[in-house]
Structure 1
Amino acid sequence: MATMDERYQLRARDWYSKQKDYDDKRDPYAVFNVLDTMLKDSLERLKTMRQSISLPDVGFQECTLEVNYAKHVHLIRDLCLLRKVGAALWLRRKMIHKCVVPDVFTHNYLVNGLCKTGDLERADWLIREMVEMGPSPNRATFNTFIKGYCLSDNVDKALYVFSVMVNSDIRPNRVTCNILVHALCKKGLLEEAWKLLGEILEEEKDKESPDLITSTILMDGHFKNGEMVQALSLWDEMVQKNIQIDVVAYNVLIHGFCLSRQMKLAYRYFCEMLKRGLLPDVFTYNTLINGLCKDGKFEEASYIHGVMARIGVTPDPISYKIIIQGLCIYGNVGRAHNFLVCMLQKSIVPEPHIWNVIIDCYGRLGDPDSAFSIRDQMLAFGVLPNVFTFNALVHAQVKGGNIAYAYSLKKEMLLSGLYPDVVTYNMLIGAACNLGHMRLALQLHDEMLRQGYEPDMITYTELIRGHCLRGNMEVAEELFAKIQKTGLPIDHVPFQLLIKKYCKIGKFDMAYDLYQKWITRDQRDYHLHWA
Structure 2
Amino acid sequence: MIRRPSIYAYTDSFLSEPFSNITFTTKSLFFSSYSSSLITLHESHPKPVSSPFYNLLPPTQNPNNIVNLISSILKHKSSHLSLQNDLKGILPHLGAHEISRVLLRCQSDYSSALSFFTWVKNDLGITHTLQNYCLIIHILAWSRVFSHAMKFLSELIQLVEVKVDGVSPNVDIYQGLIVCTENCNWNPAVFDMLIKAYVKAGMVEKALETFRKNVEACFIPNVIACNCLLSGLSRFDYIGHCWEVYEEMGRLGIHRNAYTFNILTHVLCKDGDTNKVNGFLEKMEEEGFEPDLVTYNTLINSYCKKRRLEDAFYLYKIMYIRGVVPNLITYTVLMNGLCEEGKVKEAHELFYQMVRRGIEPDIVSYNTLVSGYCREGKMHMCRSLLHEMIGNGICPDRVTCRFIVEGYARDGKLLSALNMVVELERFGIKIPENIYDYLIVSLCEEGKPFAARNFLLSISQDGYTPERNSYIKLIESLCKFNNVEEALVLKSEMVKKSMKLNLTAYRAVISCLCRVNRTFEAEGLLEEMTSSGVVADVEISRALISSYCEENSVNKAVSLLKFFAKEFQLYDTESYNAVVKVFCEAGNVAKLIAIQDKLHKVGYVSNMLTCKYVIHGLQKAMELDDEMLNLNLIEV
Q: Return the TM-score normalized by structure 1.
A: 0.58
Change (3 A) 1:360 1:430: farther
After TM superposition, the structure 1 = structure 2 runs for residues 86-485 of structure 1, keeping only pairs within 5 Å, are 93-94=114-115, 104=142, 106-111=144-149, 121=158, 136-139=186-189, 141-144=190-193, 146-151=195-200, 153-159=202-208, 162=211, 170-202=219-251, 204-205=252-253, 211-398=257-444, 400-410=446-456, 419-421=465-467, 423-425=469-471, 427-428=473-474, 431-432=477-478, 435=481, 474-475=538-539
**Greater shift after overlay, 354-363 or 309-318?**
354-363
- Secondary structure, aligned partner of 2:332: helix
Change (3 A) 1:168 1:343: farther
User: C-alpha distance in 2, partners of 1:417/1:111?
Assistant: 46
User: C-alpha distance in 1, partners of 2:462/2:216?
Assistant: 56
The alpha-carbon deviation at position 245 of structure 1 amounts to 1.7
Gaps of 5+ in 2: 1-74, 76-109, 120-135, 162-172, 516-535, 543-636
Q: Tell me: higher relative CO, structure 1 or 2? Use CA pairs within 8 A at least 6 residues apart.
A: 2
**Greater shift after overlay, 179-188 or 359-368?**
359-368
Contact 1:155 1:184 in 2 (8 A): yes
User: How large is the RMSD of aligned CA atoms in angstroms?
Assistant: 4.8
Change (3 A) 1:186 1:97: closer
Contact 1:333 1:358 in 2 (8 A): yes
Contact 1:366 1:396 in 2 (8 A): no
The alpha-carbon deviation at position 315 of structure 1 amounts to 1.2
Change (3 A) 1:180 1:447: farther
Matched to 2:324, the amino acid is L
The alpha-carbon deviation at position 213 of structure 1 amounts to 2.6
Matched to 1:174, the amino acid is V
Deviations 1:258-290 (A, max 9, x none): 111010111111101101111011111111011
**Greater shift after overlay, 89-98 or 304-313?**
89-98
The alpha-carbon deviation at position 338 of structure 1 amounts to 1.4
In our comparison, the structure showing a higher alpha carbon Rg is 1
- Secondary structure, aligned partner of 1:315: coil
Matched to 1:290, the amino acid is N
Contact 2:195 2:210 in 1 (8 A): yes
User: C-alpha distance in 2, partners of 1:90/1:412?
Assistant: 59
Matched to 2:284, the amino acid is M
Percentage of matched positions with identical amino acids: 23
The alpha-carbon deviation at position 221 of structure 1 amounts to 2.1
- Secondary structure, aligned partner of 1:347: coil
User: C-alpha distance in 2, partners of 1:351/1:181?
Assistant: 34
User: C-alpha distance in 1, partners of 2:350/2:298?
Assistant: 18
Contact 2:450 2:478 in 1 (8 A): no
User: C-alpha distance in 2, partners of 1:436/1:119?
Assistant: 63
Gaps of 5+ in 1: 1-64, 66-88, 479-531
User: C-alpha distance in 1, partners of 2:153/2:342?
Assistant: 42
Contact 1:364 1:396 in 2 (8 A): no
Answer 1 or 2: which has greater helix percent: 1
**Greater shift after overlay, 408-417 or 343-352?**
408-417
Matched to 2:341, the amino acid is D
Change (3 A) 1:429 1:96: closer
